A and B are shown apart, each in its own frame.
Chain A
Amino acid sequence: GENVEQHPSTLSVQEGDSAVIKCTYSDSASNYFPWYKQELGKRPQLIIDIRSNVGEKKDQRIAVTLNKTAKHFSLHITETQPEDSAVYFCAASMGAAGNKLTFGGGTRVLVKP
């Protein structure tokens, strides 16, 4: 089955700096890669996703890049703000045909004011 590894497990950045989280996956059949954000005591919520036919996607201060050859994808947060402090999870799946997500272990991001 699919295996997703996520690094780093914790990340501390100064407000205004950028944060980068990296994930690798094992199953070359995976073609859908979402990122979820979980604030303290809250449920995970989708913040951005990317499909295998796209190399990069941006939404305001967040962007995701995908390298299918190397089987890794990354989340980039620019101009970090205190409200970006949360746990971020990457995931991989084979899309709608088998929408069973395999999650990475999570990255706890702390943005220091």
Chain B
Amino acid sequence: DADVTQTPRNRITKTGKRIMLECSQTKGHDRMYWYRQDPGLGLQLIYYSFDVKDINKGEISDGYSVSRQAQAKFSLSLESAIPNQTALYFCATSDPGGGETQYFGPGTRLLVL
């Protein structure tokens, strides 16, 4: 869905580095989410935001932080990256007024060396 974009699409970083993954959407949705996907595993919720002033921890928030800069932007930061944070990261949006479907971005593949 081109309405939800993520940058970068691929990133290689070293242990201990701080990195930021960005998500932008033009769908006008209030709700945004960050998920992590590991090989052979499902999608695990890291953080979610129901509006600009609302930030909530998900299942696996340790080692991550987020910032909701605007309705359209939701960034995920790894303060000090570690190898077991190597994964595929997805951003998603939803609009409770228009149903409960979550629309996913294309994903960011992160490798921490």
Contacts and interface: CB of A to CB of B under 8 A. Distances in A.
Interface residues of A, number: 23
Given A93-B100, A99-B94, A100-B58, A43 B43 contact: no
A93 B56 CA distance: 16
Given A43-B107, A44-B104, A46-B102, A99 B96 contact: yes
Interface of A: 1, 6, 9, 32, 34, 42-46, 49, 89, 93, 95-96, 99-106
> Binding site of B, secondary structure by majority: helix, strand, loop or mixed?
loop
A45 B56 CA distance: 24
Contact of B42 (A42, A96, A99, A106): A106
B105 A43 contact: yes
Nearest to B96: A96
Interface residues of B, number: 23
Contacts of B31: 99
B45 interface: yes
Nearest to B35: A103
Given A1-B59, A46-B102, A101-B45, 20 more contacts: A9-B40, A34-B100, A42-B106, A43-B1, A43-B90, A43-B104, A44-B104, A46-B101, A49-B100, A49-B101, A93-B100, A96-B100, A99-B100, A100-B33, A101-B43, A101-B102, A102-B45, A103-B43, A103-B44, A105-B41
